[in-house]
């Protein structure tokens, strides 16, 4: 079995400690961070966002160490410029109209093309790369893994508020991001060449200038030999990030193991998977999703437990059993969205929700 290396990218909010609103760090955090973190810290399209990414990690233990180090460092860098760091899919009440775009030719081009959809895209996600052997294996994985995306997404839901309103969704972030083209659940591809021909056609016809402007919930990375999961909200706790990343790695390992045994995982229509994604966005882990095999609704929590059973036989080889079992704790305490809503219903104060997000972001560090 390959090692299925890991890389984790987290997008954080930079928050004014007095008003609790988003506040631009004016690239100061990124500039100071590059002295020690080099390319592991990056600016994003909005100046109130800072992204950090791990090195290539051989296993989940290395990933945990790197994620903790990066969170500690970015919190320290923010403190140095009088800001706080928060981990949530959206900010509870800041308005995107009041946030500035990072000066950069790449972002200027995106804003020029996508206009209000780009300017309003003030959302925060967590991306996980899992190393693969080659692009044909990657396309095979992408086709199969689509089925599990709503399950993973439900666990990550952490954006119930938008511009000071309770949205009724556990993840409103995904509804904001869907305004972009080339997002959501990808279609089926027969091979790496089929996939590459699709990208080449988009480039040839002026739709995109490179494959990174395909923003699907899962994609074969255009430049690296990785499968990149992109569906998740930014989660509050390090333990949550690591648990979901460990499941993502375990799913790749399990599908690969079945392939070696000449056992194919059934591929389902994108339209069906989108139904489950909508349910996950709306209800998180407390709703129901469709079990396509039995063709019936089941509680999302039950389907997540079935997912844990599905990957159980690869966890010890990956050394990730402890991390994956943290999902049971996540279902007990609720997702980030559940906990944000709990704080708001207890206090009626969205600034208290922001304080909670800031506290949880540093939990366990």
Q: How far apart are CA 253 and CA 2, in angstroms?
A: 8
Q: How far apart are CA 79 and CA 75, in angstroms?
A: 6
The reported pLDDT for the residue numbered 133 is: 86
Q: Are 284 and 170 in contact (CB under 8 A)?
A: yes
The reported pLDDT for the residue numbered 116 is: 92
Q: Are 125 and 234 in contact (CB under 8 A)?
A: yes
Closest by CA position to 220, among listed 142, 311, 307, 124: 142
147 exposed, middle or buried (CB, 10 Å; 0-12, 13-18, 19+)?
A: buried
The per-residue pLDDT string of the chain (365 residues; one tens digit each, 9 = 90 and over) reads: 788 999 999 999 999 999 999 999 878 888 888 888 888 998 888 999 999 999 999 999 999 999 999 999 999 999 999 999 999 999 999 999 999 888 888 888 999 999 999 999 999 999 999 999 899 999 999 999 999 999 999 999 999 999 999 999 999 999 999 999 999 999 999 999 999 999 999 999 999 999 989 999 999 998 889 999 999 999 999 999 999 999 999 999 999 999 999 998 888 999 999 999 999 999 999 999 999 988 999 999 999 999 999 999 999 999 999 999 999 999 999 999 999 999 999 999 999 999 999 999 999 98
- CATH 3.20.20.70 fits domain 6-361: no
Give the DSSP H or E segment for 216: strand 215-216
The reported pLDDT for the residue numbered 43 is: 84
Other CB atoms closer than 10 Å to residue 201's CB: what's the count?
A: 11
Q: What's the token pair of residue 250?
A: 């375990």
Which regions of 44-152 does DSSP assign to beta strands (E)? Answer: 49-53, 84-86, 125-131
Q: Are 361 and 236 in contact (CB under 8 A)?
A: yes
The reported pLDDT for the residue numbered 104 is: 85
Q: How far apart are CA 324 and CA 247, in angstroms?
A: 6
The reported pLDDT for the residue numbered 305 is: 98
């Amino acid at each position: 079995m390959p090692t299925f290396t890991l890389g984790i990218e987290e997008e954080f909010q930079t928050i004014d400690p007095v008003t609790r609103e988003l506040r631009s760090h004016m690239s100061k955090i990124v500039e100071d961070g590059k002295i020690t973190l080099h390319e592991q810290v990056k600016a994003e399209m909005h100046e109130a966002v800072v992204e950090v990414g791990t090195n290539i990690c051989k296993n989940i233990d290395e990933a945990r160490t790197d994620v903790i180090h990066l969170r500690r460092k970015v919190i320290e860098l923010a403190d140095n410029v009088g800001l706080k760091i928060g981990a949530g899919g959206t900010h509870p009440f800041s308005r995107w109209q009041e946030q500035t775009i990072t000066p950069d030719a790449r972002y200027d081009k995106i804003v020029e093309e996508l206009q209000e959809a780009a300017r309003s895209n003030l959302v925060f996600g967590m991306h996980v790369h899992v190393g693969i052997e080659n692009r044909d294996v990657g396309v095979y994985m992408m086709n199969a893994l689509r089925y599990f995306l709503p399950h993973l997404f439900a666990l990550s839901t952490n954006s119930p508020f938008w511009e000071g309103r309770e949205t009724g969704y556990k993840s409103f972030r995904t509804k904001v991001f869907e305004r972009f083209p080339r997002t959501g659940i990808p279609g089926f591809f027969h091979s790496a060449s089929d996939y590459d021909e699709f990208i080449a056609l988009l480039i040839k016809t002026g739709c995109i200038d490179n494959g990174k402007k395909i923003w699907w919930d899962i994609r074969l990375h255009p430049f690296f030999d990785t499968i990149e999961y992109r569906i998740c909200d930014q989660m509050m706790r390090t333990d949550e990030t690591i648990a979901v990343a460990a499941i993502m790695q375990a799913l790749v390992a399990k599908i690969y193991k079945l392939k070696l045994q000449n056992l194919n995982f059934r591929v389902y229509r994108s339209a069906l998977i989108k139904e489950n994604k909508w349910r996950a966005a709306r209800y998180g882990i407390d709703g129901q999703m469709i079990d396509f095999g039995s063709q019936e609704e089941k509680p999302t929590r039950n389907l997540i437990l079935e997912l844990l059973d599905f990957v159980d036989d690869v966890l010890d080889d990956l050394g990730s059993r402890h991390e994956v079992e943290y999902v049971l704790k996540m279902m007990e305490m609720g997702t980030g969205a559940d906990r944000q809503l709990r704080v708001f219903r207890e206090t009626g104060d969205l600034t208290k929700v922001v304080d909670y997000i800031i506290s949880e972001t540093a939990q366990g560090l």
